[in-house]
Chain A
Amino acid sequence: MSKRTNVMTGLLIVALLLGLSMQTASADEALDKSLEALNTYEWGQDRALLSALDAAVVASHDDAATQKALSAKLTAVLTSSAPQAAKDYACRQLSLIAAADSVPAIATLLGDEKLSHMARYALERISAPEAIAAIRGALPNVKGPLKVGVINSLGVRRDAESTAALVALLGDSDKGIASAAAAALGKIGSADAAKAIGAFQAKAPKELKLAAADAYLACAEQLLADGKKTDALLIYRSLIKSDQPKHVRLAATRGMLAATSKK
Chain B
Amino acid sequence: MKRKSTGSTRREFLGTAAAAVAAPYIVNSTALGLEDRPAASERIVMAGIGMGGRGRGDLGGFLGFKEIQVVAVCDVKTDTREGAKKQVDGRYGNEDCAEYVDFREVIDRDDIDTILCGTPDHWHALVSVMAMKKGKDVFCEKPLSLTIVEGRAMVDAAQRYGRVFSCGSQRVLGDYGKTARKVQAGELGQIHRCYATPGGPPRHCNLPGEPMDENIDWDLWLGPAPWAPYNAFRCGRSYGLGGKGFRTWYDYSGGMMTDWGGHKFGGVMFAMGLDETGPTEIVPPDGKDVKYLTYKFECGVELLVGGGGPKYEAAEGNVPGLTWEPPTKLLDRGYKGPANNLPGDFLHCVKTREKPFRDVTYAHRVATVCHLGNIAYELQRPLRWDPVAEEFPGDDEANRMTWRPMRGPWRL
Contact = CB atoms under 8 A, between A and B. Distances in A.
Interface in A219-263: 221, 245-248, 250-251, 254-255
A156 B408 contact: no
Contacts of A45: 206
B207 A44 contact: yes
A47 B161 contact: no
Given A155-B411, A250-B161, A254-B162, A43 B404 contact: no
Contacts of B410: 152
A233 to B, nearest CB: 16
A106 interface: no
Contact of A43 (B161, B228, B380, B408): B228
B193 interface: no
A188 to B, nearest CB: 14
B409 interface: yes
Contacts of A58: 378-380
A88 B182 CA distance: 50
A117 B409 contact: no
Contact of B409 (A153, A176, A214, A218): A176
Interface string B205-234: 011110000000000000000111100000
B405 A120 contact: yes
A183 B378 CA distance: 32
B206 A146 contact: no
A126 B226 CA distance: 18
Contacts of A156: 403, 405, 411
A61 B397 contact: yes
Q: Which DSSP category, helix, strand, loop or mixed, fits chain A's interface?
A: helix
Interface string A119-156: 01100111100000000000000000110111011011
Given A43-B207, A45-B206, A214-B133, A251 B160 contact: yes
A38 interface: no
Contacts of B254: none
Contacts of A155: 411
A148 B378 contact: no
Classify chain B: how many residues form its interface, as a range.
20 to 34
B405 A47 contact: no
Instruction: Provide the main secondary structure of the chain B interface.
Output: loop
A44 B406 CA distance: 24
A156 to B, nearest CB: 7
A170 interface: no
B409 A210 contact: no
A45 B396 CA distance: 31
Interface string A192-235: 00000000000000000010001001100100000000000000
B226 A251 contact: no
Contact of A210 (B134, B203, B207, B228): B134
Q: Which size bracket describes the interface of A in this complex?
A: 35 or more
Nearest to A55: B380
A145 B206 contact: no
B208 to A, nearest CB: 3
Contacts of A71: none
Given A96-B401, A97-B397, A214-B133, A117 B160 contact: no
B381 interface: yes
Interface string B143-156: 00000000000001
A153 B411 CA distance: 9
A152 B160 contact: no
Contacts of B409: 145, 148-149, 152, 176, 180
A145 B407 CA distance: 9
Interface in A148-186: 148-150, 152-153, 155-156, 176, 180, 183
A47 B227 CA distance: 17
Nearest to B134: A210
Contact of A146 (B226, B227, B396, B408): B408
B411 to A, nearest CB: 4
A114 B161 CA distance: 36
A11 B195 CA distance: 47
Interface of B: 133-135, 156, 160-162, 203-204, 206-209, 226-229, 378-381, 396-397, 400-401, 403-411
Interface of A: 42-47, 58, 61, 88, 95-97, 114, 116-118, 120-121, 124-127, 145-146, 148-150, 152-153, 155-156, 176, 180, 183, 210, 214, 217-218, 221, 245-248, 250-251, 254-255
24 contacts: A43-B228, A46-B206, A61-B397, A95-B405, A96-B400, A114-B227, A118-B226, A120-B405, A125-B403, A126-B400, A127-B396, A145-B408, A146-B408, A149-B408, A156-B403, A180-B409, A210-B133, A210-B134, A214-B133, A218-B160, A247-B135, A247-B161, A247-B162, A251-B160
Given A153-B405, A156-B411, 12 more contacts: A58-B378, A61-B397, A114-B227, A116-B408, A125-B400, A146-B408, A149-B407, A176-B409, A183-B411, A217-B160, A254-B160, A254-B162
